[in-house]
Amino acid sequence: MSYIALSEKDKKEMLKAIGVSSPKKLFDCIPGDIKLNRDLKIPTAMSEPEVMGYFNECAQKNKNSEYISFQGAGAYRHYIPAAVDYLSSRGEFASPYTPYQAEVSQGTLQSIFEFQTLICQLTGMDIANASLYDGASGAAEAVLMAMRINRKSKVLVPKTLHPHYRQVINTYTRNLGISVREIGYDETGRIDTTELEKNLDNNTSAVVCQTPNFFGVIEDLDKISAYAHENKALSIAVLAEASSLGLLKAPGEMGVDIATGEAQSFGIPLSFGGPYLGFMACSKEFVRQFPGRISGETNDIDGNRGFVLTLSTREQHIRRERATSNICTNQALCALRATIFLEILGQQGLREWARQNIQKANYAYDLFKDIRGVKAFFSGEIYNEFVIKTGKKWKEVESEFMRKNIIPGISLERFYPELEHCGLVCVTEVSRKKDIDRFAEILKGILAG
């Protein structure tokens, strides 16, 4: 297959116009001793049906379609309305570049402006950006932003934050003289506030708090923000399951300074972990330290409303090494999917969606807790995920479930060696009651055996 649109005649005419005999001549500027002078050793070209066939076979080697899954932990199964795929696959959205030429990019720029507004409404914050790569790098960017604001060098990161997010924060901060201190959890499954208090001092730049946290437990953001502010540190909220914003109190109502997270839940398929959608919002006063692209409203010379990328003096192409972040390409098309998703759901749909998540998960939680040999490991309230402790090691429980074509959740042992009997189970609006009930029956059987 080739995607070249020139005929042999075209090529000849063009070479003649340039004044060279063959395209190879145009590479004379490359020294001979570094030229390859052979064909690349990669598979020979395939036709479209052959390529399709190869990938169909490849995809068949994935076994996910044979299982019912209760996995979450930062990647959530939700229903995606048909209009999301339909609209976001339009070439007018999929095939432009970043909207540098605003006059021919109003569709993209206005969509970003709507996305920013929706994120502000959901988080209760003043401003939002056009997107970041994902939840993990969003958390890292929030930490770097806090350090730029208050120039302090210590950040408190709880063990209740997604382990991968913690790893990314460590990678991003390790060369910048920042000390990252991990804070443990208590029997509610929330941040251990005694330990938090002990570690807060006037060199603390920020306290990071994920809610609902990695264990699915809803944190007391209000209290965490108050602790942070008493020590003149900033409060960073991380939302790894953005659907919770449809029902739970907004970060902006709970003293949060920077809200960031993962919006995969808003119309983006699981896709083996990406592309996903990082987002960030903050209070107005921090706008100069805010990373990422922002769309802003303005007028054209006739006085008509239009949108442009704005406040770009923060960004790398203007400020180079003094930029607030190096990010330029972000996850624009994912942000468009989220925008369409949220607008389709609308005010009532969003609330109903979150309500079904919290109701179904709590139904499952209550059902499983009552099974002999099962314990609710934490006492805190949960949103759509929860930790259960079983009489057997989770790995054994899991393999029994897999035999019945159910993936019961995620083993916590690899991240928390102390939790080898615990699994993290996620129940969303797509989990049917009959599957939840069957889960309970199977679990009962495994633990009775």
Enumerate residues 351-380 that contact other proteins by CB under 8 A. Answer: 351-353, 355-356, 358-360, 362-363, 366
Query: Is residue 86 within the footprint of other proteins (CB under 8 A)?
Result: yes
Radius of gyration in angstroms for the set of CA atoms belonging to the chain, rounded to a whole number: 25
Which part of the chain contacts other proteins (CB under 8 A), choosing from 149-157, 183-191, 231-239, 291-299?
291-299
Peptide bond connecting 49 to the previous residue in cis, omega within 30 degrees of 0: no
- DSSP-assigned letters across all residues of 341-408: HHHHHHHHHHHHHHHHHHHHHHHHHHHHHTSTTEEES--S-BSSEEEEEESS-HHHHHHHHHHTTEE-
Query: Is residue 21 within the footprint of other proteins (CB under 8 A)?
Result: no
Query: Residue 279 burial (CB < 10 Å; 0-12/13-18/19+)?
Result: buried
Q: Cβ closer to other proteins: 58 or 418?
A: 58
Q: Which of residues 26-85 bind other proteins (CB under 8 A)?
A: 26-31, 33-36, 39-46, 48, 51-52, 54-56, 58-65, 67, 69, 71, 73-75, 77, 79, 81, 83, 85
Which part of the chain contacts other proteins (CB under 8 A), choosing from 147-155, 182-190, 336-344, 370-378?
336-344
Q: Per the structure block, which two tokens stand in for 60?
A: 């068949």
Which part of the chain contacts other proteins (CB under 8 A), choosing from 95-103, 183-191, 370-378, 440-448?
95-103
Amino acid at 323: A
Separation between Cα atoms, residue 122 and residue 139, nearest integer Å: 18
What are the residues facing 407 on neighbouring strands?
69
| Shortest distance, position 344 Cβ to other proteins, whole Å | 4
Task: For the chain, give the number of residues.
Answer: 449
Peptide bond connecting 275 to the previous residue in cis, omega within 30 degrees of 0: yes
Indicate which single residue of 21, 151, 202, 329 sits in contact with other proteins (rule: CB under 8 A). 329
Q: Which of residues 230-289 bind other proteins (CB under 8 A)?
A: 246-250, 253, 262, 269-276, 287
Q: Give backbone dihedrals phi and psi of 28, rounded to 5 degrees, phi first.
A: -60, -20
CA dihedral 199, 201, 204, 208 (to 10 degrees): 40
| Shortest distance, position 172 Cβ to other proteins, whole Å | 7
Indicate which single residue of 21, 322, 372, 417 sits in contact with other proteins (rule: CB under 8 A). 322
Query: Is residue 17 within the footprint of other proteins (CB under 8 A)?
Result: yes
C-beta separation of 289 from 324 below 8 A: yes
Separation between Cα atoms, residue 411 and residue 394, nearest integer Å: 6
Indicate which single residue of 142, 156, 258, 334 sits in contact with other proteins (rule: CB under 8 A). 334
| Shortest distance, position 230 Cβ to other proteins, whole Å | 21
Indicate which single residue of 315, 400, 412, 422 sits in contact with other proteins (rule: CB under 8 A). 315
Query: Is residue 8 within the footprint of other proteins (CB under 8 A)?
Result: no
Please count the residues of this chain forming the interface with other proteins, following the rule CB under 8 A: 200
Indicate which single residue of 179, 194, 313, 405 sits in contact with other proteins (rule: CB under 8 A). 313
Q: Cβ closer to other proteins: 57 or 418?
A: 57
Number of Cβ within a 10 Å radius of residue 93: 17
Separation between Cα atoms, residue 100 and residue 295, nearest integer Å: 11
Query: Is residue 417 within the footprint of other proteins (CB under 8 A)?
Result: no
The answer for residues whose C-beta is within 8 angstroms of residue 15's C-beta and 6 or more apart is 21, 22, 23
Indicate which single residue of 102, 180, 440, 442 sits in contact with other proteins (rule: CB under 8 A). 102
Indicate which single residue of 101, 151, 417, 418 sits in contact with other proteins (rule: CB under 8 A). 101
Query: Is residue 131 within the footprint of other proteins (CB under 8 A)?
Result: yes
Please report, in angstroms and rounded to a whole number, the separation of the first and last CA atoms in the chain: 58
Query: Is residue 130 within the footprint of other proteins (CB under 8 A)?
Result: yes
Q: How far is CA 24 from CA 19, 41, 266, in A?
A: 13, 20, 49
Q: Cβ closer to other proteins: 195 or 384?
A: 384
What DSSP state is assigned to residue 99? S
| Shortest distance, position 384 Cβ to other proteins, whole Å | 12
What is the number of alpha carbons within 13 Å of residue 241 lying toward its C-beta? 32
Q: Cβ closer to other proteins: 65 or 202?
A: 65
Indicate which single residue of 68, 192, 296, 369 sits in contact with other proteins (rule: CB under 8 A). 296
Q: Give backbone dihedrals phi and psi of 305, rounded to 5 degrees, phi first.
A: -65, 140
| Shortest distance, position 274 Cβ to other proteins, whole Å | 4
Indicate which single residue of 149, 233, 236, 350 sits in contact with other proteins (rule: CB under 8 A). 350
Q: Which of residues 196-235 bind other proteins (CB under 8 A)?
A: 218
Separation between Cα atoms, residue 101 and residue 60, nearest integer Å: 42
Q: Cβ closer to other proteins: 171 or 194?
A: 171
Q: Which of residues 377-406 bind other proteins (CB under 8 A)?
A: 381
Query: Is residue 12 within the footprint of other proteins (CB under 8 A)?
Result: no
